[in-house]
Amino acid sequence: MLKSGTTANTNYLRFVSNAMTIHSTAFTLTTTNLVISSSPYISMGTTPPTSSSTGTGIFMNGAGFYALNSNNVRAQILQDGSGFLGGSGTFS
C-alpha cells in the first residue's frame, strides 16, 4: 500500500491490493486525447476541447453543455425539476 495523506484528510491517493482510490477537492487528468477535470468537464478528441466552443471532439460539462463537433455548441440539456429541457444549434 502506498498512501499520501490519510483518509481523514480530504485529499489522498491510496493503493490497496488491486484497487486505487483518488480523493481530491480539485482534480485534472490530462492525456493526449482525454481530459477529465473537476472544473467540471470531460472531453476527448484529436485536440480535446477545453470548452463547448473550442477544440475538436466531444465535450460535456456540469452546466449541461454538450459539443459533438469542432468549435460548436451542439446541444444543451437541463433538468428544471419537472422534466428535461433541451436545445440545439443548427444540425446539417
How many residues in the chain? 92
Amino acid occupying residue 79:
Q
C-alpha to C-alpha distances, 42 to 2, 19, 33, 83, nearest whole angstrom: 28, 23, 11, 24
Under the banding of pLDDT at 50, 70 and 90, the label for residue 32 is very high
**Mean pLDDT of the chain, nearest integer:** 76
Q: What is the pLDDT of residues 67-87, one digit of tens each?
A: 776 655 556 666 666 666 666
pTM of the model: 0.64
